[in-house]
Amino acid sequence: MRSAIKVLVVDDSALIRQMLTRALSVDPAIEVVGTARTGVEAIEKTLTLDPDVITLDIEMPELSGIEALPHIMRVSAARVIMLSAVNDSETTYQALVLGATDFIVKPAEGFATSIAELSDVLLKKIKIAYRIRPESRQLAPALKTLTVVKVNDPSITPPGHLVAIAASTGGPPALETVFSGLDSGFDAAYLVVQHLPHGFTGSLARRLARTSDLEFMVAEDGMAVGRGVAYIAPHGLHMVVSGRRTMRIALEDTPSMHGVRPAADPLFESVAGAVGAAAIGVVLTGMGTDGARGARSILDVGGMTIAQDEQTSVVWGMPGAAVRRGAAQRVVPLDSVASEIRRTLRGVKVHE
């Protein structure tokens, strides 16, 4: 019989620690092995209790969750789930870059009344985090320090290629790795679907803008698609492209797919329809199957499809689904994804 998942609950509020402990303890697959009030205490109990998963609050006395996280990552194989305030998207994104596996937005008000809903989400994320191999926890590359966030005023030159990229769990640092290997010298535009809660898309765009000289922006309905620009799909709307000579983005308030919105499948399918063989589909780390069907549509029109390999994925759900569907023309480690994109944009043929 498999042993229970050992969880350390870290929060400066005694009430929240008590409520989370009680909520998690109802599941026989979970064992709360301890609680901590501060970042310092979290590090100490990580060493003594050896938890599998840590729920780590951000705002705490003595040492914040952000300050404690790098220490925890160095001394433990525990997977860390951050708990963030609604208005703390920048800090939470920084936690993902530092190696946190996932995050949950804590309700700003009425915590007691929403604890049941929060605990259901937390239980699910703990079980997902536990399945992640500790060695696959990713850190983003060092950021370039002389770049600035771009403004939404690019010179619109229609691209010859469209590169559609999908990611979910583990995606932010993976996207940073990919875009750090790309630049504006290629005749391409980039369209990104990253499964994130409301409020985090802007943080992602700003962070990615520091990895490359590409323009990065949150997509808007009717926006023209230009060469050398990367468009991030906003939360709550599917992003598609239409047109050929003048391509534009459409944001659609249609039902979610695979339980998410935006989803990658409609984007990939629209990219295949817009540019045919000049389409490139990339499926990175993430839970579920989103992107597999869309990658198949790109492959069917003669485009290139790339999937991140299992060894470098935090979760090999989405890229694994693309591989099983026969929709991944190339399966490569994360560090090789950008070079595969560059090779395809240059028209270099790879002999298997």
- Chain region(s) in the chain for CATH 3.40.50.2300: 5-136
Q: For domain 5-136, which CATH number applies: 3.40.50.2300, 1.10.10.10, 3.10.20.30, 3.30.450.190?
A: 3.40.50.2300
Profile the chain (352 residues) by mean pLDDT over runs of 10 residues. 87 90 92 96 96 94 91 93 76 84 72 66 90 70 46 67 96 94 96 89 91 95 95 97 88 95 98 96 96 98 98 94 98 97 83 44
Sheet holding 304-308, edge to edge: 215-218, 229-232, 188-194, 161-167, 279-283, 304-308, 330-332
Sign of the alpha-carbon torsion through 157, 348, 337, 240: positive
Residues identified as active-site: 168, 195, 290
pLDDT of residue 113: 53
Chain centre distance of CA 317? 13
The pTM for the full model equals 0.81
Domain with CATH 3.40.50.180 in the chain: 161-346
How many other C-beta atoms are found inside a 10 Å radius of the C-beta of residue 103? 25
User: What is the SS3 assignment for 328?
Assistant: coil
161-346 CATH choice from 3.40.50.970, 3.20.20.70, 3.40.50.180, 3.90.1170.50: 3.40.50.180
Distance between CA atoms of residues 231 and 234, nearest Å: 9
d(CA 27, CA 41): 25
From the list 315, 328, 244, 237, the residue with the least C-alpha distance to 280 is 328
